């Protein structure tokens, strides 16, 4: 089964994706955090982040380890067209469409999970996808939840999605109003799995190789698993799954040394990006919070209260 790295705004930046592919690997494709319209045009910061993964800049001598699929979020076919156009110009030919983001700022603007209850707008966007796919300009996938307020929303949309030439649908079986917590609605996921005519990818709360294998056993038609927070916590997860047949799990020492190597790259980049200790540390510490399960308890306890880079440098020595 394919293992896909979920988009995580603020975490899986271009630098992170590149470092992860080089140091850990095992991922079939990285999904970039969404590109959105801001002040009437594609957000410049999001576009810059995608440059690291731009296929036009890839070196044939040194091919990228895994592809990056850019993602867009839009509340209308007009926004959709503007965002798609700019990605096509940059040479991307595979685009993911976000219909799951639960952030109130996006939902209130009728984007992400806020679009799930609007079958009419979704249909117009899917018609645009069908047209663009027919010209061969690009191929599209969808990442979605069951609904904003009710799982019925996904089942109203499913016939429309089934009729659209999508490469895959990734389903996170929660509602937008649950954000990222609370019970996963596995029954609705199974119904969707049975009725979906596209390759289906499962996404939600996967943190171990045994969970991936269990999903594979229970749902043999699954095309893949998309993992977000579980991969931030254990960046070796995808590679360990790929090697599982050889019983080739990464040793804790190897894992720690790779985490440190990757941390070094994120650290250097953040140092040159953020001004001032407090901004820089809040960015870098947000990674530590996710990494806690993979770090020795004593180390985590030591680094957690750090509030200046001088202290942190000493700790790392
Ligand atoms: C901080 C954060 C940022 C996220 N940003 C995005 C995003 O840009 N696009 C998207 O489709 N999903 C985004 N998600 C959702 C994740 O891709 C994923 O669907 C969710 O975390 C559930 O999967 P997991 O349990 O494996 O983490 C985000 C989630 C978090 C926690």
What is the per-residue pLDDT across 44-82, written as a single tens digit (0 to 9) for each?
999 999 987 766 665 555 545 579 999 999 999 999 999
Among 246, 272, 287, where does a domain finish?
246
Separation between Cα atoms, residue 20 and residue 255, nearest integer Å: 12
**Same domain for 41 and 181:** yes
Read off the pLDDT of each residue in 180-195 and give the average, rounded to a whole number. Answer: 97
**Same domain for 266 and 232:** no
**Same domain for 223 and 280:** no
Per-residue pLDDT at 70: 97
Q: Which domain holds residue 66?
A: 2-246
Per-residue pLDDT at 246: 47
Q: How far is the CA of 8 from the centre of ligand 1 (A)?
A: 5
pTM for the full predicted model: 0.94
**Same domain for 72 and 31:** yes
Q: Per-residue pLDDT tens for 101-131?
A: 999 999 999 999 999 999 999 999 999 999 9
**Same domain for 157 and 94:** yes
CATH number (domain holding residue 210): 3.20.20.70
How many domains is the chain partitioned into structurally? 2
Among 201, 228, 246, where does a domain finish?
246
**Same domain for 188 and 90:** yes
Q: Which of 146, 180, 224, 291 to mutate to test the pocket of ligand 1 (most atoms within 8 A of CB)?
A: 180
Q: Is 11 helix (H, G, I), strand (E, B) or coil?
A: coil
**Same domain for 236 and 258:** no
Q: Which of 3, 8, 100 to mutate to test the pocket of ligand 1 (most atoms within 8 A of CB)?
A: 8
Q: Per-residue pLDDT tens for 223-275?
A: 999 999 999 999 999 999 999 754 556 788 999 999 999 999 999 999 999 98
**Same domain for 233 and 124:** yes
Ligand 1 pocket by C-beta < 6 Å: which residues? 6-10, 33-34, 71, 98, 100-101, 143, 172, 180, 203-206, 227-230
**Same domain for 139 and 26:** yes
**Same domain for 97 and 19:** yes
């Amino acid at each position: 089964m394919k293992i896909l790295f979920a988009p995580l705004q603020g975490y899986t930046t271009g630098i992170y994706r590149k470092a992860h592919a080089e140091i850990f690997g095992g991922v079939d494709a990285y999904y970039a955090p969404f590109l959105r319209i801001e002040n009437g045009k594609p957000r410049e910061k999001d576009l810059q982040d995608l440059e690291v993964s731009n296929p036009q800049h890839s070196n044939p001598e040194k091919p990228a380890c895994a592809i990056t699929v850019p993602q867009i979020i839009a509340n209308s076919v007009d926004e959709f067209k503007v965002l798609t156009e700019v990605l096509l110009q940059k040479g991307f030919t595979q685009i993911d469409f976000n219909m799951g983001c639960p952030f109130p700022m996006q939902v209130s603007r009728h984007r992400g999970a806020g679009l799930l209850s609007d079958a009419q707008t979704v249909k117009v966007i899917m018609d645009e996808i069908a047209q663009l796919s027919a010209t061969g300009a690009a191929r599209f996938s969808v990442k979605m939840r069951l609904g904003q307020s009710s799982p019925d929303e996904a089942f109203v949309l499913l016939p429309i999605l089934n009729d659209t030439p999508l490469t895959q649908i990734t389903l996170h079986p929660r509602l937008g109003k649950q954000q990222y917590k609370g019970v996963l609605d596995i029954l609705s996921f199974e119904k969707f799995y049975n009725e979906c005519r596209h390759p289906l990818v499962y996404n939600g709360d996967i943190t171990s190789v045994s969970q991936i294998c269990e999903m594979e056993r229970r749902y043999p038609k699954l095309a893949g698993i998309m993992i977000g927070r579980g991969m931030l916590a254990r960046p070796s997860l995808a590679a360990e799954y790929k090697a599982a047949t050889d019983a080739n799990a990464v040793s804790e020492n190897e894992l720690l040394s790779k985490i440190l190597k990757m941390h070094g790259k994120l650290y250097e980049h953040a140092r040159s990006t953020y001004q001032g200790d407090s901004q820089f540390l809040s960015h870098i510490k947000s990674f530590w919070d996710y990494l806690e399960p993979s770090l020795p308890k004593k180390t985590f306890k030591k680094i957690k209260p750090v509030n200046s880079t001088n202290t942190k440098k000493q700790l790392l020595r």
